Structure 1
Amino acid sequence: MPKFPRGHTTPASVVDALKALAGNPPKTRARFAGGRCVRGTYAPSDRAQEITKSQSFTRPSRVLARFSLGGSPDAANVGNSVLRGFSFRLGSDDDRSDILTQNAPMHFARTLDQMLAFLKARIPGADGKPDAKKLRAFSAANPETLHQASYLAGRPPPESFAGTTYWGVHAFPATNSKGETRFIKFKIAPVGGDVALSGDEARAPSADLLNHDLEQRIAAGDVRFSVMALLGRAGDPTMDVTVRWPDEDRREAVRLGTIVITGIEAERMCEVSAFNPANLAEGIGYPPDDIFAARRVAYAISQAQGR
């Protein structure tokens, strides 16, 4: 387990701040509370072994996954500022890997201290609103914390969980069977392309509509994702998750395999088998950034509080 200096921000304090920002709902995850647990299959490509020796990615397996929303599960509509999440598990108990992705390719904070300050600046006061002056001052002093919001604001709201591209914001060291290691980022791309309306047609769907759309697409056998590895280069930033790699949208990528979602699972299945980024089978290592180190602890805390 990662160690955090005494007196500094801890994963538990960040979870508390996330809960406070959400209004401290009882028995609820700190984030991504609303979602759908699903099942499926994974089939590796013939190039997966070039990138990693991890049996999670080089062998066929069953998939347990969860689509989720970063905002309130009771929201009347879900605009483009609300993150969509896709967490999935590949492999068996002996070679299990949990990969957590979202529909923005960067995180909103670079360090744990900055993450806590970001959240505290947004916690509503007695009037139900955050202190606008305090929020402006924080954003001016920490402009990198606006990168994620700017990315989301520049795109129409996704109309479907199944038609959304998801990103792993961390740089993972991947080691292949030859012992060669390079950094990769995960990109999970819908096989049929993104589904998002634009212009005058754009609208913000409700959580219920997103879940209903997902159920219909699963019933039609229409939920497939390519698991892509974006290949790192020398000089790529691996410690700062608020920035993207240079030319990230155009750089070389290898398809590791394909996920096919085949059915809806009871939510308790995803609660009992909690997704945790610490679960990575040999061949995919831990990213070196501060946020990933904290997530390994914070997800377990949040999951426990949601039961």
Structure 2
Amino acid sequence: MQAVAGLPPKARASFAWGLCVRGTYAPSHLARDITTSRSFTRPSRVLARFSTEGGPPNAADTERCSLRGFSFRLGSEGQRSDIFTQSAPVHFARTLDQMLAFLQARMPEQDGKPDMARVEAFSAANPETRRQASYLAAHPPPASLARTTYWGVHAFPATNAMGETRFIKFKVAPVGEADGPTVDAVAARSTGFLCGDLESRIAARDVRFSVMALLGRPADPVMDVTIRWPDEDGHEAVRLGTIVITGIESNAACDGSAFDPANLAEGISHPPDEMFAARRAAYAISQTRRR
């Protein structure tokens, strides 16, 4: 991943640029109907990180529709949950072997560019790996990280106070102005546009998100992260709570304690898909290498 993105050895392998922030979380009265997790049913402080894929540090993606990320940690000591969401509702690979082959097909040649014939041949043989890029192309991101909708690609088993367990997906939606100019409209601005916009909005107390649980149906697939649930946009969505971003933290605050997807307070369990298990291990490796 680092080689494909042209990143130095100690950079994050994905979502290299980021801004570490702090905030608060307030649960809704409906959260307990979905989960007993204290991370989602009790007020808490929030540590979070907005990020974009690839690129040099402090650069923003105003010239292309790259993936954006929003990681956040809820809860207090012993009852914390780390959740990662991104600006597309699907991942780019279904299995570990497919993810490795996807990256190998994009390895730079001697001229520093990938062999596009090789990329096209791989994509043709693995059409599900096109879905994330197709979604991003059809849904250009708004010109603000604070106005972007973020999705969880994994299906999490959530257990409520009645002992009922059902699969949910996380959706983090901006409160207020949902749309705005896309990245194309601000391409001429400086590369620090997204960072500056976010800092200005935080200073104005204008960054808040609804943390939603999309409720799974019995036949919904939970093992393939390259596909959405059938009629996913029509699924019942329950607001678990609201995140308000109140300030900026040093990058060390987010780097010192990695957002580990294995950290889930009781009431939210690990997704069963292969990619989630791999993500848990990869995060630990990435943090070790950065240190």
TM-score under structure 1 length normalisation: 0.90
Give the deviation of 1:128 after TM superposition: 1.4
Which stretch shifts more, 202-211 or 108-117?
A: 202-211
Paired residue for 1:238? 222
| In structure 2, distance between residues paired with 1:57 and 1:30 | 29
Paired residue for 2:115? 131
**What is the aligned-residue identity percentage?**
70
Give the deviation of 1:184 after TM superposition: 0.2
Using a 3 Å threshold, how does the CA distance of structure 1 residues 107 and 267 change in structure 2: closer, same or farther? same
Paired residue for 2:141? 157
| In structure 2, distance between residues paired with 1:258 and 1:118 | 36
Equivalent residues in 2 for 1:201-216, closer than 5 Å = 201=185, 203=187, 207-216=191-200
Paired residue for 2:21? 38
CA contact (8 A) 1:157 1:203 kept: no
Give the deviation of 1:194 after TM superposition: 2.7
CA contact (8 A) 1:106 1:148 kept: yes
After superposition, what is the alpha-carbon deviation per residue over 1:4-36, rounded to whole angstroms, capped at 9, x for unaligned? xxxxxxxxxxxxxx1111224032111111110
After superposition, what is the alpha-carbon deviation per residue over 1:51-97, rounded to whole angstroms, capped at 9, x for unaligned? 00000000000000000011213557434431110000000121010
Equivalent residues in 2 for 1:48-87, closer than 5 Å = 48-74=31-57, 75=59, 77-87=61-71
| In structure 2, distance between residues paired with 1:206 and 1:172 | 39
Paired residue for 2:160? 176
Q: Do structure 1's residue 97 and structure 2's residue 85 form an aligned pair?
A: no
Using a 3 Å threshold, how does the CA distance of structure 1 residues 160 and 85 change in structure 2: closer, same or farther? same
CA contact (8 A) 2:2 2:9 kept: no
After superposition, what is the alpha-carbon deviation per residue over 1:179-198, rounded to whole angstroms, capped at 9, x for unaligned? 10000000000001434325
- Where does the alignment leave 5 or more consecutive residues of structure 1 unmatched? 1-17
Q: Residue 207 of structure 2 is aligned with which of 174, 199, 223?
A: 223
Paired residue for 1:140? 124
Give the deviation of 1:201 after TM superposition: 3.8
Secondary structure of the 1:297 match is helix
Paired residue for 1:274? 258
Q: Where in structure 1 do 4 or more consecutive aligned residues deviate above 6 Å?
A: none
Using a 3 Å threshold, how does the CA distance of structure 1 residues 206 and 276 change in structure 2: closer, same or farther? farther
Cα root mean square deviation, aligned: 1.7
| In structure 2, distance between residues paired with 1:261 and 1:248 | 28
Which stretch shifts more, 76-85 or 154-163?
A: 76-85
Give the deviation of 1:153 after TM superposition: 0.6
| In structure 1, distance between residues paired with 2:77 and 2:40 | 14
CA contact (8 A) 2:15 2:53 kept: yes
Using a 3 Å threshold, how does the CA distance of structure 1 residues 108 and 204 change in structure 2: closer, same or farther? farther
Q: Do structure 1's residue 294 and structure 2's residue 270 form an aligned pair?
A: no
Give the deviation of 1:291 after TM superposition: 0.6
| In structure 2, distance between residues paired with 1:213 and 1:232 | 35
User: Residue type matched to 2:258 in 1?
Assistant: A
| In structure 1, distance between residues paired with 2:149 and 2:225 | 18
CA contact (8 A) 2:62 2:184 kept: no
Give the deviation of 1:158 after TM superposition: 2.3
CA contact (8 A) 1:61 1:90 kept: yes
After superposition, what is the alpha-carbon deviation per residue over 1:224-269, rounded to whole angstroms, capped at 9, x for unaligned? 0000000000110100000001111122100000000000000000
User: Residue type matched to 1:96 in 2?
Assistant: R
CA contact (8 A) 2:25 2:45 kept: yes
